Structure 1
Amino acid sequence: MKLYLLSVLAYVLTLLAVNAQSGNIMGNITTSDGKPAEYVNVGLKGTTKGSTTNHEGNYKIENVAVGNYTLIASFVGLETQESQIVVKAGETLSINFTLNESAQELSEVVIQANANQYNEEAPSQSLRLNTPLIETPQNIQVVTKAVLEDQQVISMSDGLIRNVSGAVRTEHWGDLYTNIKVRGSQIQAFRNGFNVVNSSWGPLTEDMSFVDHIEFVKGPAGFMLANGDPSGLYNVVTKKPTGVTKGEVSFTVGSFDLYRSTLDLDGKLSKDGKLLYRLNLAAQNKKSHRDNEFNNRYVIAPVISYQLDKNSKLTLEYTYQRAEMSDVGSYYVFSPDGFATYPVEFTTLPSGMPATNIDDHSFFVNFQHKLNNNWKLTGQLAYFNYQQQGSSMWPGAVYEDGKILRTVSSWDAKSKMTLGQVFVNGDVTTGSVRHRILGGLDLGNKEYFADWGQYHMLDSVGAEFDPLNPYYGVPVNGYPQFDYTTPLEERAQAVAGLIDQRYTGVYVQDELGFINNKVRLTLAGRYTTVSQSSYGGTPLTAKRFTPRVGLSVSLNDFTSVYALYDQAFIPQAGTLTNGDDAKPITGNNMEIGFKRNWAGGKWSSTLGIYRILKNNEITSDPNNPNSGLSVELGEKRSQGIEFDLRGTIVNGLKLIANYAYTDSKVTKVTEGITDIDEGDIIPGFAKHTVNGWLTYKIQNGVLKGTGFSAGVTWLADRETYWDESPDPSQTLPDYVKVDAGLFWQKDRIKITANVFNVLDEYLYSGSYYSWLSAYYWQTDPPRNARLSLNYKF
């Protein structure tokens, strides 16, 4: 890392010494009806210098040598416009264009020319950064809408993570919530820039019907969004109105009685185009490769936006998700004899068990105001209300002969979150230094109530459940009948099922651009105050300042290198064995990387090397496991290498490929901890993860529009033991999953068929559980298929 930083410094000094006199060109492109024109190519005739307009129609071309040029604005299928310009040293020239086409006409061309793109050049507005991804000193990967459609991803927990280096899922309770681990730890879940985590079992995994794309931010990002784990976050960006009247309907059928339909409507509510709407609907019935399991979903997601004036816009968004699921604990299998000792479809769930029902509501209000050409103010509020009534199965005992006493506990839960954000973005120049400024305020109030204290034994001693001769009728002790009359808040109080958090964060960031913005130095800081209590622990109030320093250097228009140091701050509540309050988790992240856009930005690659130190994380006291007391582990260290490649390699051929090496260990052990040793592996990751997804579409001839796809996931050296196994030979095998598909697309119709787990491998994750003296695992589906029909109108 030192050698790398010295090389970067040497390059910067050389650049300072030989930098030629140059200037910049910037401007805005609109359509004939005054709307921003996105994806328009702007370039200098006879050179390789160019740019593409963003969602606001803005472009910028930097480091242009002085002289006379012809500036060209072009788009496939549209008339090219030209302007004669003169670039002067140290000046920024402002050139605007107006296209003859309307916003609707342009959008129709965009749909044809930019469909199924796998590569994004800039983050969403909800990440608050006005910096292209190649210039951002951090590893950010975007899973686009086209990727979700091609891979037939229908929820956050449905194969999505294959598109991001180093991302894995361990035991995940079906499709209830998404537990994604990157860089050795679980990353935080965000939606539209808000941290929506309110317990260890949430949020409810998003249905893809209302999702536009997902952004994975590696490393700490608390400075710009909220409190977060030093490993990173994923940000779900929902669909918004585009101002173009259009629609799309889809129908999907698949293995295990999957029946699903979605409707996406987009258009205007007023003739002048100021009042817009977007409406997404979805309905799904879905069973499982295990008997008696089901996961039915219903979604209503309307969005309305109103252009108050040319500088101000208000957006209102509501999402309702209804989930009706079988008991969530049924996904686990237990055996004293080792992993995978039962068939892949084996379950302990009896027929007739009451369902778990979930109602999930979310509201967003977003206001954007353009103060002038250089400054923009954004304010947004969010309210989340989640209610769950259900149960969770877990063995009360696992005997040496494999028989099980099945236990069911209540799992009623309620979550309320009220969140607010106000931030300002600025882009100004002082002398020869460009400043991309970000500053703002975050506020949050989160409450979680859960009753898991009611128990019911399905089986009796002498009449245990026998996996070798399973009976799935009415259990000998009948079905559970829990108390729902007592208010949930009272029941949660009785079992310490309470979480309460309030936080305030103030942050500021300045990205200083030197040498015509070829060298960018990021200086940022955040001051956070948090008050939190959880699971009956002592209330905790904590305050902390977390800094961030980043350096990004453009070696040329398509290549950059970066280095980053930042910190994370995560409050935690609990009572330590020695009587002290738990300290907040702190983390230090050091990262260096290389980014390059290829073929004019059609595909991109990122290579990153990181090292994370995480301190003060608490866990149950191993010497008193049932006392409710905790101890501090000490220090964890995660380090590794990540590589991502995505985009259109050649016309018709799109590829996503990634690799990650992850190493996560305990480096310091708190005095008195006997069950954990220095050097122990932190479970829940794979040392090597390899993913690939390739799609090819025939461009000409009688088979034009026909294509095929193929994908592979390989997880090697998986580390998932929470408790030490008594049998060293019982280790998790490598995970290898192969998928393949065909599709046909013509005009507005697309038919897609995919086969998942083509090799029909027995795929699972799991661990040893010392409390039951048994191994547990959770299987992925065997070979299965999906067929979708999409029609755009």
Structure 2
Amino acid sequence: MTKKFTHLLGIVVVLLFASLDLMAQTKTGSINGYIKTSDGKPAAYVSVGLKNMNKTTQTDESGSFTIKNLPAGTYVVKISAVGVKAQEGQISIAEGASATLDFSISESASQLDEVSVNGYKTPNKKPVNLGKIAIAPIDLPQAVQVIGNQVITDQQANRLSDVLKNVNGVAFGENRGSVSGETFFARGYSLGTNNVFKNGARATSGGMPEVSTLESIEVLKGSAALLYGGVTGGAVVNLVTKRPKFEYGGEVSMRGGSYDMYKPTGDVYGPITKNLAFRLIGNYEDAASFRNTVNSNRIYVNPSLLYKINEKTDILLQGDYLKSDMTPDFGIGTVNNQIIDIGRSAFVNAPWAYNNTNTVTSQLNVNHKFNDNWKLNVLANLQSYNRNYFSAERPFADQLAATALPYGIAQRNVTRSKTKEFTYNQQINLNGSFKTGNVTHTLLVGADADQSRTTSGGFVFNNNLTAFNYGNVNLLDPTTYYGSGIEPIATMTTQTFAPLYRMGTFVQDLVSITEKFKILAGIRYTFQKTPRTVSTNLVTGVQTLSVNSLDKSKTENAFSPKFGLIYQPLKTTSLYVSYANNFIQNTGTDINLAPLDPSTVDQYEAGIKNDLFKGRLSANLTVYRIANNKFAQQALLNAQGAPNGDANIKELNGKTLSDGLELDITGTIVKGLNFIAGYSYNFIRYTETRDKTVYTVPNPTTANPNATRTVTLGGVVEGQRLVGSTKNTANGTLFYTFQEGGIKGLKLGASAYYTGARNGGYNDTKIQNYSRLIPLSAFTTFDFSAGYNWKKISLLAKVANITNELNYFVHENYSVNPIPPRQFVTTLSYRF
């Protein structure tokens, strides 16, 4: 596998470099520059354009900008941003040459922070990292949303769910036992572990990543298979950590809140030498919960180094470490498939339950600029994730089950697991721009590979029991919740090693036919290999390969195309339509017992992106349809033509359909007033499933050789919304910082979040006698914030869920977790 990828990567690199000189040849020139604040710090995300021309860009985090593909001549460069006094400068460039023009603005870095230029700047013109190329979202035929550090800071976010509730179309789906990676649904599809990235590399969300110190969170909605391979069709989430800076500074803060929550944080950065800069971020969190006996203890450290070899090449080395110890909590359970209000704080898990995780990530990122038009990025990422878990599982008292217990009684079967996972990711991306006649191309070519190696343990309890019940609990009787308090003895007897290999290569071209009409087209080839697992008996030392019908590894491959048309009638407006597809892995086998092929999912999207009031407001609207015409469902007949009673033998002949609409609004209408808002609608349902069919098949016994039995098959009820998906979501956040007078520096903010109706439990089938759906009603929560900034000190306080709304999130089947009640949190910080 490694040789195959090495050869493929070598061919790609040779072809790229062989064509590079020819494609890079151009007679156009460029204007480069640097913008700094009055205190000598870089001014990031300031708009830079050519007066009376449709040529605009923004400064990056280092304050630098480049305007490319300019014929020889004299130009007037204009800079502007919210809270920045506009400036102009004149410069001349010769044919094929570059010229430099720098600016110094009268505002300081802290003044820019006060008007939230970095956090609330209209996102349509700011390139996103997860696009693997510096293309502004207004030029992409796909919905993109970026939540910046200012939003994360103002809302005092702690978890990924705190941030993503600002992203319309992404709905929270709880997390397993409240300790695994949080689960989200986007456009009706669950975002699995493949859909979360950190600085562009695939990353585990186990242990729940630290978000309070992030620079931003980027969300690319819909299919992202062209760039990332086997991801679900809902969205890709990229966590962007903060980078080193070549000026000294930092911040220390203390956050405290309800239920004994304490969280000190430190952030320091600066130059080590002229070409080497560092940054070190760390925090510690200790907190109880509104849930009885639930606690969390976390340590996070994020060091990074940036080495600028020269003006064309830099190397960024980043790492982080997260130790997260949290109490597993499966919520309050159900009785007869109904949520019973036994109290928001009721804890029915075993009192000794624990979940301890350690996550270490290291990433090397090399960037090289051949010239103003062509850039190369090479990335290598390593992540180690260890999990140590022991807990009783989700409680449910179900009288309707075949093994019915008395009313309100639920079993508490335990799970013991110990997992080690190593993930490796390598990428190489070449991007550049060139012309063929009057047509401009922005080309991206790349290759990537992932390898993961997971080792998990199998346990027995109290010496020889393969299953253990901690003790039945009466969900309606709090005196039974604690149980015996005795932790069973769990002994690891087996270890299972499961490797996985992925690789792919892709090409994408943004073709500017004219200034108003553009085409984005690309295609990706993805190969995935899942070898058979190896189990080791720790008592005997005997190793065993997993068994499948072919006695070999499962291999999958797919082509993922993407095509979009973009029309920009105005500099501030973009209309687009696009098509893309991705593939979804399936479990089980076909009727010949061969591994099941992946399902191919088609996505159609249309939208309009607008920047209004000179960039002070952006309003984007998206509509989409996602069709899975090869949905896996139980096969009707087996290979012998007999009725199939095995749920793992499947056929790709079902269908699902997801329709939706998304609206997001971001703005800084007046100085100091920042807001974000959004609304989404989604309806994902089964449109074609197996009809109810009853077969009579032979079932001979010794006593009756002619005995028969019936096999009844039937798919999910058509038209029913998929469990976990949310029909409507809406969000709105507004913060205002007073700019003048005696109350200058006072900050007030308010947020509202609406979560629509959704279903927990199981989708209904055509053959069942009763429903196992758990309908969940819609709810809205409101937060209010107030704070004060004085020189380098800031204080911000928030009351969350002011109305003390009570509702629930249901993960998987019956893991029913109440939403947090009214809570208070405050953060005191000092910048230096």
- TM-score, normalising length: structure 1: 0.85
Cα gap change, 1:275/1:730 in structure 2, threshold over 3 Å: closer, same or farther?
closer
- Describe how 1:763-774 pairs up with structure 2 within 5 A: 763-766=807-810
Shift of the alpha carbon at 1:252?
Answer: 0.6
Is the contact made by 2:755 and 2:778 (CA closer than 8 Å) also made in structure 1?
A: yes
- Describe how 1:607-626 pairs up with structure 2 within 5 A: 607-618=621-632
One of 732, 749, 754 as aligned partner of 2:798: 754
Whether 1:653 and 2:673 are equivalent positions in the alignment is yes
Whether 1:294 and 2:295 are equivalent positions in the alignment is yes
SS for the counterpart of 2:227 is coil
Q: Separation in 2 of the partners of 1:332 and 1:537?
A: 39
SS for the counterpart of 2:206 is coil
Aligned partner of 2:331: which letter? Y
Is the contact made by 2:449 and 2:503 (CA closer than 8 Å) also made in structure 1?
A: yes
Shift of the alpha carbon at 1:26?
Answer: 5.1
Aligned partner of 1:526: which letter? R
Q: Deviations over 1:65-124 (max 9, x none)?
A: x9986433467678945216699xxx999653024689xx97566545545632333233
Cα gap change, 1:81/1:556 in structure 2, threshold over 3 Å: closer, same or farther?
closer
Whether 1:468 and 2:472 are equivalent positions in the alignment is no
Shift of the alpha carbon at 1:212?
Answer: 1.2
Aligned partner of 1:305: which letter? L
Aligned partner of 2:819: which letter? D
Residue in structure 1 matched with residue 714 of structure 2 by the alignment: 674
- Describe how 1:374-773 pairs up with structure 2 within 5 A: 374-394=373-393, 398=397, 399-451=405-457, 454=460, 457=468, 459-460=470-471, 464-473=473-482, 475-476=483-484, 478-484=486-492, 486=493, 490-491=494-495, 493=496, 499-515=498-514, 517-532=515-530, 538=548, 539-576=553-590, 579-618=593-632, 632=652, 634-669=654-689, 674-724=714-764, 726=770, 731-766=775-810
Aligned partner of 2:578: which letter? L
Aligned partner of 1:243: which letter? F
Residue in structure 1 matched with residue 697 of structure 2 by the alignment: none
Q: Separation in 1 of the partners of 2:246 and 2:790?
A: 24
Shift of the alpha carbon at 1:429?
Answer: 1.8
Is the contact made by 2:331 and 2:394 (CA closer than 8 Å) also made in structure 1?
A: no
Q: Separation in 2 of the partners of 1:675 and 1:137?
A: 36
Whether 1:336 and 2:336 are equivalent positions in the alignment is yes
Q: Separation in 2 of the partners of 1:51 and 1:459?
A: 62
Shift of the alpha carbon at 1:31?
Answer: 5.8
Q: Deviations over 1:607-642 (max 9, x none)?
A: 001011125454789999997666657222111111
- Describe how 1:114-129 pairs up with structure 2 within 5 A: 114-115=116-117, 117-119=119-121, 120=123, 121-129=125-133
Q: Separation in 2 of the partners of 1:743 and 1:377?
A: 44
One of 136, 141, 146 as aligned partner of 2:145: 141
Q: Separation in 2 of the partners of 1:619 and 1:778?
A: 30
Q: Deviations over 1:321-346 (max 9, x none)?
A: 001111x2433523226224211111
Cα gap change, 1:459/1:413 in structure 2, threshold over 3 Å: closer, same or farther?
closer
Residue in structure 2 matched with residue 325 of structure 1 by the alignment: 326
Cα gap change, 1:636/1:118 in structure 2, threshold over 3 Å: closer, same or farther?
same
Is the contact made by 2:761 and 2:774 (CA closer than 8 Å) also made in structure 1?
A: no
Aligned partner of 2:518: which letter? R
Q: Separation in 2 of the partners of 1:246 and 1:213?
A: 19
Is the contact made by 1:723 and 1:767 (CA closer than 8 Å) also made in structure 2?
A: no
SS for the counterpart of 2:330 is helix
Q: Separation in 1 of the partners of 2:723 and 2:745?
A: 45
SS for the counterpart of 2:320 is strand
Q: Separation in 2 of the partners of 1:44 and 1:768?
A: 54
One of 798, 804, 817 as aligned partner of 1:778: 817
Q: Deviations over 1:170-216 (max 9, x none)?
A: 2313243121111000121111112225xxxx433211244211101
Cα gap change, 1:39/1:313 in structure 2, threshold over 3 Å: closer, same or farther?
same
Higher alpha-carbon deviation: 622-631 or 745-754:
622-631
SS for the counterpart of 2:776 is coil
Cα gap change, 1:789/1:556 in structure 2, threshold over 3 Å: closer, same or farther?
same
Aligned partner of 1:745: which letter? N
Shift of the alpha carbon at 1:570?
Answer: 3.4
Cα gap change, 1:25/1:312 in structure 2, threshold over 3 Å: closer, same or farther?
closer
Cα gap change, 1:337/1:396 in structure 2, threshold over 3 Å: closer, same or farther?
closer
Is the contact made by 2:54 and 2:571 (CA closer than 8 Å) also made in structure 1?
A: no
Q: Separation in 1 of the partners of 2:809 and 2:547?
A: 32
- Describe how 1:19-34 pairs up with structure 2 within 5 A: 27-30=31-34
Cα gap change, 1:50/1:576 in structure 2, threshold over 3 Å: closer, same or farther?
closer
Q: Separation in 2 of the partners of 1:109 and 1:48?
A: 29
SS for the counterpart of 2:150 is helix
Is the contact made by 1:122 and 1:133 (CA closer than 8 Å) also made in structure 2?
A: yes
Is the contact made by 2:723 and 2:760 (CA closer than 8 Å) also made in structure 1?
A: yes
Shift of the alpha carbon at 1:720?
Answer: 3.2
Q: Deviations over 1:678-711 (max 9, x none)?
A: 3232111221111111112222211111122111
Aligned partner of 1:641: which letter? L
Aligned partner of 1:508: which letter? V
Q: Separation in 2 of the partners of 1:101 and 1:700?
A: 21
Q: Separation in 2 of the partners of 1:767 and 1:717?
A: 15
Shift of the alpha carbon at 1:543?
Answer: 1.7
Is the contact made by 1:393 and 1:408 (CA closer than 8 Å) also made in structure 2?
A: yes
Q: Deviations over 1:700-754 (max 9, x none)?
A: 2111111221111112232334244947996311121111111111222111111
Shift of the alpha carbon at 1:562?
Answer: 0.8
Is the contact made by 1:189 and 1:234 (CA closer than 8 Å) also made in structure 2?
A: yes
Tell me the percent identity.
Answer: 25
Q: Separation in 1 of the partners of 2:811 and 2:202?
A: 29
Q: Separation in 2 of the partners of 1:635 and 1:192?
A: 35
Cα gap change, 1:505/1:36 in structure 2, threshold over 3 Å: closer, same or farther?
farther
Aligned partner of 1:117: which letter? G
Q: Separation in 1 of the partners of 2:511 and 2:41?
A: 31
Is the contact made by 2:690 and 2:715 (CA closer than 8 Å) also made in structure 1?
A: no
Higher alpha-carbon deviation: 23-32 or 377-386:
23-32
Shift of the alpha carbon at 1:422?
Answer: 0.4
Cα gap change, 1:632/1:448 in structure 2, threshold over 3 Å: closer, same or farther?
farther
Residue in structure 2 matched with residue 151 of structure 1 by the alignment: 155
Q: Separation in 1 of the partners of 2:486 and 2:511?
A: 68
Residue in structure 1 matched with residue 828 of structure 2 by the alignment: 789
Mind listing any 5+ residue stretches in structure 1 that lack a counterpart? 1-22, 770-774
Shift of the alpha carbon at 1:776?
Answer: 5.0
Aligned partner of 1:214: which letter? I
Shift of the alpha carbon at 1:43?
Answer: 4.4
Q: Deviations over 1:520-543 (max 9, x none)?
A: 101101111111258857432112
Q: Separation in 2 of the partners of 1:248 and 1:534?
A: 49
Residue in structure 2 matched with residue 10 of structure 1 by the alignment: none
Cα gap change, 1:663/1:533 in structure 2, threshold over 3 Å: closer, same or farther?
farther
Q: Separation in 2 of the partners of 1:397 and 1:777?
A: 9
Q: Separation in 1 of the partners of 2:730 and 2:781?
A: 11
Residue in structure 1 matched with residue 185 of structure 2 by the alignment: 181
Cα gap change, 1:415/1:348 in structure 2, threshold over 3 Å: closer, same or farther?
same
- TM-score, normalising length: structure 2: 0.82
Cα gap change, 1:617/1:237 in structure 2, threshold over 3 Å: closer, same or farther?
farther
SS for the counterpart of 2:215 is strand
Residue in structure 2 matched with residue 280 of structure 1 by the alignment: 281
Is the contact made by 1:127 and 1:225 (CA closer than 8 Å) also made in structure 2?
A: no
Shift of the alpha carbon at 1:572?
Answer: 3.9
Shift of the alpha carbon at 1:236?
Answer: 0.7
Q: Separation in 1 of the partners of 2:503 and 2:168?
A: 32
SS for the counterpart of 1:310 is coil
